[in-house]
Structure 1
Amino acid sequence: MNDGDVSKQIQQMVTFIHQEAEEKANEISVCAEEEFNIEKLQLVEAEKKKIRQEYERKAKQVQVRKKIEYSMQLNASRIKFLQAQDDIVNAMKETASKELLRVSDDQNAYTYKKLLQAFSDDKNAYNYKKLLQALIVQSLLRLKESSVLLRCREMDKKVVESVLEDSKREYVEKANLRAPAITIDKVYLPPPPSGSEQHGPSCSGGVVIASQDGKIVCENTLDARLDVAFRQKLPQIRKHLFG
């Protein structure tokens, strides 16, 4: 084999090796491109998933905030509504409380008639004097003590003194017990409210009777009676006004 043949054979081998290397390089390049594309898609999908999760999380936060704000606004509206109802009911009570101040005026006979229907058997006689007597008798019947202490407004003292004996007799008839000893307390109930002291202690009338030891107290003032009636009738008042 001469040098030409050897050189030709070597050139063929070199060409073959180059061709095989190029094919291998192309194969590696294709595989690398495929792996790159797969990895890129995986990374893109992973990032898309993160973005979707973040969006869903923020969307839920927005929904929660909206629900909280709606609930707060709803509660605030309910509070305002209930406050408005309370204002109306309290205004009614305030009006009734002002009406009580007219009870000590003997000219308001209709009011006495309504009040005495709950206290007295005499439906035809009604004035503040009769009302005080009815309140005293009712308190005595509640306590049934042999000796009691009576507290009234200073302006009502003479009227109270004038009905004590009649009150005792009525008590004896109804309770079938001995007449109790009644002592008028030297500490008086507050006077009716005046224009200058609307929020101070006041009393529209009536009496407070207690046992001598002070352990049992029957508060039978007109204001106390109004409070009791108001609490008892409050459900009916609300139903009538607001349904």
Structure 2
Amino acid sequence: FTQFDTDIKHMMAFIEQEANEKAEEIDAKAEEEFNIEKGRLVQTQRLKIMEYYEKKEKQIEQQKKIQMSNLMNQARLKVLKARDDMISEMLNEARQRLANVAKDPARYPTLLDGLILQGFYQLLEPKLTVRCRKQDLQVVQASIQKNIPIYKAAVKTNLEVRIDQDNFLPPDVSGGVEIYNSSGKIKVSNTLESRLDLMAQQMMPEIRVALFGANPNRKFMD
């Protein structure tokens, strides 16, 4: 070989070495950029995954709260229904016992006196009609005759009272009377059932406290 050939070979070797070094440098930089981009993508995806599961966790927590609220509301409604059922049973039992009141000859005439006289005072009209049970006809007649003078003395007006013997109170009424004005449009219902219902309505707050205790959430007392 000539010197020229030797110089060419050295030059080619040098160029090849530089090319290899440049290629290695490019590979290294490419790998570095790849790793950086891979790390960035991994971090981005990691943040997205964390955000996704945080969102899911919040949704689940919200659903749990909604379900818990629904369950608590259902439980409250069941408690309220159970209490109302208990009160209804108690009132039904009281209604069944009303028949015993009318069977007591010592108490019932006095009770009728009060119911009839109260009806007179509530209507304050000169002519009244009384409806009663058929079996109470005589005791009601006696009570009316007894209470007319008491009413006249208190109100200073005359009073005419008749018993409607064509329309007695139905058999399911335990006792007491209904009193109508002369036109029949105004009525005072003083049957034992109506008095029990009125008393239950007026005493319902006390009945609830007696049965279930005071309501801790109630701020105002009527």
Do structure 1's residue 174 and structure 2's residue 167 form an aligned pair? no
Task: Using the TM superposition, give the Cα deviation of residue 37 of structure 1 relative to its aligned residue in structure 2, in angstroms.
Answer: 0.8
1:33 CA drift (Å): 0.7
Pick closer, same or farther for the CA change 1:180–1:23 going to 2, 3 Å.
farther
Partner of 1:82 in structure 2? 80
Distance (whole Å) between structure 1 residues aligned to residue 78 and residue 102 of structure 2? 38
Name the aligned partner's letter for residue 129 of structure 2.
L
Q: Which amino acid aligns with 1:236?
A: E
Aligned AA (1:42)? R
Q: Is the 8 A contact 1:141 1:171 kept in 2?
A: yes
- State the partner residue of 1:12: 10
- 1:71-220 alignment, distance < 5 Å: 71-107=69-105, 109=106, 112=107, 128-184=108-164, 186-191=166-171, 202-220=172-190
Partner of 2:194: 224
Whole-Å Cα distance in 1 between the matches of residues 17 and 165 of structure 2? 129
Where does the alignment leave 5 or more consecutive residues of structure 2 unmatched? 214-222
Is residue 208 of structure 2 the alignment partner of residue 238 of structure 1?
yes
Give identity over the alignment, percent. 40
How far 1:22 sits from its partner (Å)? 1.5
Are the equivalent residues in 2 in contact too, given 1:150–1:185 (CA < 8 A)?
A: no
Read off the aligned partner of 1:153 and give its amino acid letter. Answer: R
In structure 1, the gaps of 5 or more residues are 113-127, 192-201
2:35 counterpart residue number: 37
Return the alpha-carbon distance in structure 1 between the equivalents of residues 90 and 3 of structure 2.
Answer: 128
RMSD of aligned residue pairs (Cα, Å)? 2.3
Q: Is 1:104–1:205's contact at 8 Å kept on the other side of the alignment?
A: yes
Counterpart-to-counterpart distance in 2, 1:16 and 1:185: 139
